Amino acid sequence: MTDKPRIEALHAKEAVNNFEREGFEGNRTIFGKILSGRAKAKIVYEDDQVLCFKDIFPASENHFLVIPKVHIKHYQKLTPDDLPLLRHMVNIAGEVAQVNGIEDVQTARKSGESGIYWNSGSD
């Protein structure tokens, strides 16, 4: 999908500016715009399945979003086949959190400091 190198989990202060990627033109949501590079974002992780970036209106110092590169229009469209992707997203969220100083990700989730939310957007 991209000829750019994989971006390993970075500290928020090392986030890189977003750049153009091909293959996301059909996704007209804000996340599609970020994936295609048409919208600004500070990238802290990227691989062939997901993109993680700083929230532009953060609710906390370590507010990051992990989004799948495959367009899933609504959480109700998820199937058991999507479980490996969802697990990967959770794992990357934990990795980025730890790089950014959140040592105990499970406790952060239980306290509400960290969470998984679904934004289906409109498209």
Instruction: Report the distance separating Cα 47 and Cα 1, nearest Å.
Output: 10
- Burial readout 25-63 (b: 16 or more C-beta within 10 A, e: otherwise): eebebbbbbbbbbeeebbbbbbeeebbbbbeeeeeeebe
In this structure, the number of other CB atoms found within 10 A of the CB of residue 4 comes to 13
Q: What is the DSSP letter of 14?
A: G
Note the pTM of the prediction, 2 decimals: 0.84
Give me 80's structure tokens: 């058991």
User: pLDDT tens-digit profile of 30-66?
Assistant: 999 999 999 999 999 999 999 999 998 888 888 899 9
pLDDT value of position 34: 94
CA distance 91 to 2: 22
Beta-bridge partner residues of 17: 42
pLDDT of residue 59: 82
pLDDT of 2? 44
